[in-house]
Amino acid sequence: MTQAPTAQPPSRRRHDREIIALAVPAFGALVAEPLFVMVDSAIVGHLGTPQLAGLAVAAALLTTAVSIFVFLAYATTAAVARQVGAGDLASAIRQGMDGIWLALLIGAAVIAVTLPLAPWLVEIFGASDTATPYAITYLRISSLGIPAMLVVLAATGVLRGLQDTRTPLYVAIGGFAANGALNAGLVYGAGMGIAGSAWGTVIAQMGMAIAYLVVVVRGAHRHGASLRPDAKGIRASAQAGVPLLIRTLSLRAVLMIATAVAARLGDTDIAAHQIILSLWSLTAFALDAIAIAGQAIIGRYLGANDVKGAREACRRMVQWGIVSGVVLGALIVLARPLFVPLFTSDTSVQDTLLPALLVVALSQPVSGVVFVLDGVLMGAGDGRYLAWAMVLTLAVFAPAALLVPHLGGGLTALWGAMTLMMTVRLMTLWVRTRSGRWIVTGATR
């Protein structure tokens, strides 16, 4: 007699619904963000090679500047989710406003630095003489949109903390569409060249920031939360963000070292490395979507003093991370004959990247767990531990990567070092999660 399949426990089904409801829209919003630069590149590319080269340098500077302050989203998500779990929506939005005010202050400071130093920054990145004026123009104009970009980060954190990832998806889609239309109209219709591309992007970013602020302000009025800047709250938001800033800088250092080592291996290796890094970044978006769900869900459970719910959600998300990693790894292996020729027809580059790509595929389950646990600890507000863990990881990775050119192994060995980096992150995050010291309940940590 055939036994009926055992039904999933109600708690598991509940966690699955929560994860899917938050992760799927978050993934869509994450994928929409890099499309901004792709649209700019496609439109500016038809103006000429110097213009495209100038855009590449300026975009790299802008992306670095904004990614450094991604803690505005992460720290705000955790703080708001805790207040939501505690049932205090007014305080949740109030904390979110503190993050938004901090974003505006940081954005103003970045503009004050970028405008006068734009020529120097472009020179550091090694722009050619023909590309330099275009890079300076794009950088100076686009820097005016940095406060809006940072407000978008902070407001995204507010909505994620409120368990809403759909609104950021809609805003991202609207911003992407507006950016494309404005770029095309200003670059070609108005004949403004690369300056038109920069202004189109700035206007689209400001529109996104305004859309977020309308949503947050409405929520504040509905729940009686103050919109005025509060020095104490802004200071608390900054203090919560410092450890995550250290974590982000350490992670950026890992990527910069990897690229520098690949460049020392030769043109073929750096070309193959860039292709693999692009693919690795794409898989990171999928895994980061689960991490974002983890930030919001864990913060809410801890705010509600539900330790059991937090542990169960963590366990379930780890399982999601493993499965997602296995699926992504299999897709990389199975689809490589299809996507590799899209990036390059150079057989030497293809031969170089294929074994390294296999290393990346095999490491995806490790990456899946790392992203999830990273999100869990962020949601718990355990930023100090995340900072020191990432610094330790950098200390292990740097010598291993720098030895690659001397010990041999080429690009495959370099991505072996990247896998070592992810393994060290897994160990540090797993130890912390198993210890239970991240579980601090209450409306604030």
Which residues, 6 or more positions from 432, have their beta carbon under 8 angstroms from its beta carbon? Answer: 373, 377, 382, 385, 389, 438
Question: Which residue do the tokens 């490790």 mark?
Answer: 366
Q: What pLDDT does 121 receive?
A: 87
Q: What pLDDT does 3 receive?
A: 43
Positive or negative, the Cα torsion across 246, 251, 253, 254? positive
Q: What pLDDT does 32 receive?
A: 67
Out of 3-17, 86-100, 266-280, 350-364, pick the least confident. 3-17
How high does pLDDT run on average in the chain? 88
Provide the whole-model pTM.
Answer: 0.86
Q: What is the arithmetic mean of pLDDT over 394-409?
A: 92
Q: What pLDDT does 33 receive?
A: 66
Both structure tokens of 325? 């990693």
Type of residue numbered 52: L
Q: Specify whether the CB–CB gap between 356 and 276 falls below 8 A.
A: yes
Q: What is the band of 9 on the pLDDT scale with cuts at 50, 70, 90? A: low
Q: What pLDDT does 34 receive?
A: 66
Q: Specify whether the CB–CB gap between 141 and 62 falls below 8 A.
A: no
pLDDT at 301 over 70: yes
pLDDT at 4 over 60: no
Q: What is the arithmetic mean of pLDDT over 87-116?
A: 93
The DSSP code sequence of 381-401 is T-HHHHHHHHHHHHHHHHHHH
Out of 92-106, 131-145, 251-265, pick the least confident. 251-265
Q: What is the band of 2 on the pLDDT scale with cuts at 50, 70, 90? A: very low
Between the CA of residue 216 and those of 168, 234, 445, what are the distances in Å?
Answer: 12, 17, 23
**Each residue's pLDDT tens digit, 162-187:** 999 899 989 988 998 999 899 899 98
Q: What is the arithmetic mean of pLDDT over 307-321?
A: 93
Percent of the chain exceeding pLDDT 90 equals: 56
Which carries the bigger pLDDT value, residue 366 or residue 189? 366
Percent of the chain exceeding pLDDT 70 equals: 96
d(CA 344, CA 350) in angstroms, rounded, equals: 7
pLDDT at 345 over 50: yes
Q: What is the arithmetic mean of pLDDT over 287-294?
A: 90
**Each residue's pLDDT tens digit, 21-42:** 888 888 877 776 666 766 777 7
pLDDT at 10 over 70: no
Q: Specify whether the CB–CB gap between 257 and 397 falls below 8 A.
A: yes
Which carries the bigger pLDDT value, residue 176 or residue 344? 176
Q: Specify whether the CB–CB gap between 158 and 187 falls below 8 A.
A: no
d(CA 349, CA 110) in angstroms, rounded, equals: 39
pLDDT at 80 over 50: yes
Out of 327-331, 349-353, 424-428, pick the least confident. 349-353
